[in-house]
Amino acid sequence: MSRFSKLLAVTRRFEFKPHRIGHLIDSTGRYDERLDREFPFMIRLFHFRTRRFTHGSTWHERLELFMPVQGQCPFRVGEHTLVLHPGDMVVLDNAKLHHVVENDRLDSKVVVVSFLPEFVYSLGSPTHDYAFLLPFYATGDPQPHLLRHQDDWAPLVYESLARLLEVYFDPAQAQYRQAACKAYLLEILYFLARHFHSAVVLQSEFSLQQQRITRLQKLFDYLSANYAEKITLHQAAAMTHLSKPQFTRVFKKVAGMTFVNYLTHTRISHAARLLLESQSSIAEIATQVGFSDQSYLTRQFRKSFGCSPRDYRKNCLRP
């Protein structure tokens, strides 16, 4: 039996729940699921099916490993779209917008491992612990870091992930559960760091990325409350005390896309929720989320969801 088959055997013992997280997402797409500061780690098992999951791009403070174990799963990170097969693992950093892409054949079960960076490395940690975070913060490649199921390090990741799932969901492991979870997570991160060895960066890059995020925090907070208001690139740059060229570079490094695309994604995500949660007309929703007219909303909506707002509302509300 292959190591992936053994991982599948473990996952069959657990329930994969429908992906319903709308109540945890704010208007900018920030997905806020609180973690215990003493143990900032969690695993979620999601079942993504056509028209039966929470739509819209999200971002969060947590670092994340995303792996489908059943069914093909189209996945978008920043401006890149990936086709994930069972056993492929995406390494997500905390600020880049990402989402599963809707299609008529979507039926995928996914393991999502999330943790805060300080669970692995923080001020006071030995310098070598930073190696565990290299797959998340190495910036040499603009593409998302992706471990494919045929890669040499994949079987070792599957073995450690199977053990991690067993100890995380087994109530009998209470005494050593947290220590075991961290041990198996570090194994996975070590294997990923070895796989992505060509992307080694200086430890200073991690600190620099945190500084970028802090510098943009005021802007993200503003957009969370005022996403529908008109805001120009010049105004956004001024809010962060950066020149427009500096702001453009920094924003894309943090969010994985341009400021204009980020603002559009924010408005589209909110429009998608209003289509399902309100009785407002499409024209009214376009105005509420900050688009100039209904036709512009429709064009942008098709780019993100592959259908019109009208069809999205009709199909998603269908029993």
User: In this predicted model, what pLDDT tens digit does every residue of 158-170 receive, in sequence order?
Assistant: 999 999 999 999 8
DSSP the chain: --HHHHHHHHHTTSPPEE---GGGB-TT-BB----BTTB-EEEEEEEEETT-S--S-BB-SSEEEEEEEES-EEEEETTEEEEE-TT-EEEE-SSS-EEEPP-TT-EEEEEEEEE-GGGT--TTS-GGGGGGGHHHH--S-SSPEEE-TTSTTHHHHHHHHHHHHHHHH-GGGTTTHHHHHHHHHHHHHHHHHHHTGGG---HHHHHHHHHHHHHHHHHHHHHHHHTTS---HHHHHHHTT--HHHHHHHHHHHHSS-HHHHHHHHHHHHHHHHHHH----HHHHHHHHT-SSHHHHHHHHHHHHSS-HHHHHHHHS--
What pLDDT band is residue 264 in, cutting at 50, 70 and 90?
Answer: confident
* Statement: residue 122 has pLDDT above 80: no
* Domain 203-316 listed as CATH 1.10.10.60: yes
Higher pLDDT, 213 or 132: 132
Percent of the chain at pLDDT above 70?
A: 89
Domain ranges of the chain: 3-199, 203-316
Q: List the single range of 115-119, 136-140, 199-203 with lowest mean pLDDT.
A: 199-203
Q: How does pLDDT run across 58-108, given as a tens digit for each residue?
A: 777 789 999 999 999 999 887 788 999 999 999 987 667 788 888 888 999
Higher pLDDT, 277 or 304: 277
* Statement: residue 115 has pLDDT above 50: yes
Q: Which fold has domain 3-199?
A: Jelly Rolls (2.60.120)
pLDDT of 147 reads 94
What pLDDT band is residue 315 in, cutting at 50, 70 and 90?
Answer: confident
Q: How does pLDDT run across 18-70, given as a tens digit for each residue?
A: 998 877 777 667 777 788 878 999 999 999 998 888 777 777 778 999 999 99
